[in-house]
Amino acid sequence: GIQVEQSPPDLILQEGANSTLRCNFSDSVNNLQWFHQNPWGQLINLFYIPSGTKQNGRLSATTVATERYSLLYISSSQTTDSGVYFCAVADLSSGSARQLTFGSGTQLTVLP
Amino acid sequence: DAGVTQSPTHLIKTRGQQVTLRCSPISGHKSVSWYQQVLGQGPQFIFQYYEKEERGRGNFPDRFSARQFPNYSSELNVNALLLGDSALYLCASSWDRGNQPQHFGDGTRLSIL
């Protein structure tokens, strides 16, 4: 099956700093999503981005499908950004965009 | 509109028992998927249902089963519970056609004693 690697595994920032999270995947995908899992376990949709670039406030994401990677940018980080960030993909060979394979996540801690 | 709703939020069972978890998708969504998230790991795909039929199954034993009802809600059943079944169980729904994002519920936290 498809492999998803996220880096870095852990990231500690001071409030106000910027960061880049990376997601590499091993095969062509028809779905790529970024999620934020808060300390209460809620998995929050950030972006649906199988290709191209999107922005939502302080967050933006870019997926280069031909090179099999995606980047999540967080600018002016806040303590509420803390949590685990997951990249999840569905590969074309599965025939469904709804069977997601998750990476192992990036644990982000933003210090006040 | 309400998001994906799951019940119960927490559950404690003992080894060997059986459990049923429930999920109601976002209104209009016909596809429901189930995921298991063990502590410290990313969620793992268990099942996908669409129009009451199983459309995909992950690498889980036959103790895990699911079904989808005419109103598109779904149940996940796990028999003969093991300690390793302790996890957060997440349900996701999406539109039925095309490449659409998955929307997740808050999950059911299952603890096996």
Asked if pLDDT for residue B51 goes beyond 90, the answer is no
In chain A, residues with a C-beta closer than 8 Å to the C-beta of B98 are: 97
CA-based R_g, chain B, Å: 13
Question: In the structure, what pLDDT confidence band is assigned to residue B97 with cuts at 50, 70 and 90?
Answer: low
Residues B23-45 as b/e (b if ≥16 CB within 10 A, e otherwise) read bbbbeebbbbbbbbbeeeebbbb
Chain B CB contacts of A98 below 8 Å:
31, 33, 48, 50, 55-56, 92, 94, 100, 102
CA dist B96 and B75 (Å) reads 18
Across the range A45-56, mean pLDDT stands at: 96
At residue A40, the pLDDT reads 87
pLDDT digits (tens, 9 = 90+) for A68-102: 999 999 999 999 999 999 999 987 776 666 789 99
Asked whether the beta carbons of B17 and B59 are under 8 A apart, the reply is no
CB-based contact B43 A43, cutoff 8 Å: yes
Residue whose C-alpha is closest to residue A86's, from B55, B35, B85, B109 = B35
Q: Render pLDDT for B5-19 as a digit per residue (tens, 0 to 9).
A: 999 999 999 999 999
- Give the closest of B88, B102, B106 to A98, CB-based: B102
For residues B44 and B55, give the distance between their C-alpha atoms in angstroms, rounded to a whole number: 16
Q: Which residues of B touch A42 (CB under 8 A)?
A: 106-107
Residues of A in contact with B104 (CB under 8 A): 35, 43, 45
Name the one residue in this structure whose structure tokens are 């999406």: B94
Cα gap B79→A19, rounded to integer Å: 44
* Interchain proximity B43–A86, CB inside 8 Å: yes
Mean pLDDT (whole number) for A1-5: 92
Q: How far is B68 from chain A (nearest CA, A)?
A: 16
What is chain A's mean pLDDT, rounded?
Answer: 93
| Identity at A83, one-letter amino acid code | G
- Put simply, whether A33 touches B (Cβ < 8 Å) is yes
Q: How large is the average pLDDT for residues B40-66? A: 93
Q: Is the pLDDT of residue A45 over 90?
A: yes
Q: What are the structure tokens assigned to B12, written together?
A: 């404690």
Tokens of A1: 């099956």
What backbone phi and psi angles, to 5 degrees, belong to A65? -65, -35
Residues B54-78: pLDDT tens digits?
A: 988 999 999 999 999 999 999 999 9
Measured between CA atoms, the residue of chain B closest to residue A34 is: B101
Query: CB–CB of A11/A107 below 8 Å?
Result: yes
Contact B45 A41 (CB under 8 A): no
Say how far apart CA B51 and CA A43 lie, in whole Å. Answer: 25
Give the one of A48, A97, A102 whose C-beta lies nearest to B42's C-beta.
A102
Mean pLDDT of A7-16: 97
What is the predicted pLDDT for the residue at A93? 72
As given in the structure block, the two tokens for residue B3 are: 């998001």
User: Of all residues in chain A, what percent carry a pLDDT higher than 70?
Assistant: 96
Q: Residues of B with CB below 8 A from A54's CB?
A: none
According to DSSP, the residues that pair with A13 across neighbouring strands are: A110
Whether the per-residue pLDDT at B99 is higher than 80: the answer is no
Residue A73: what pLDDT?
98
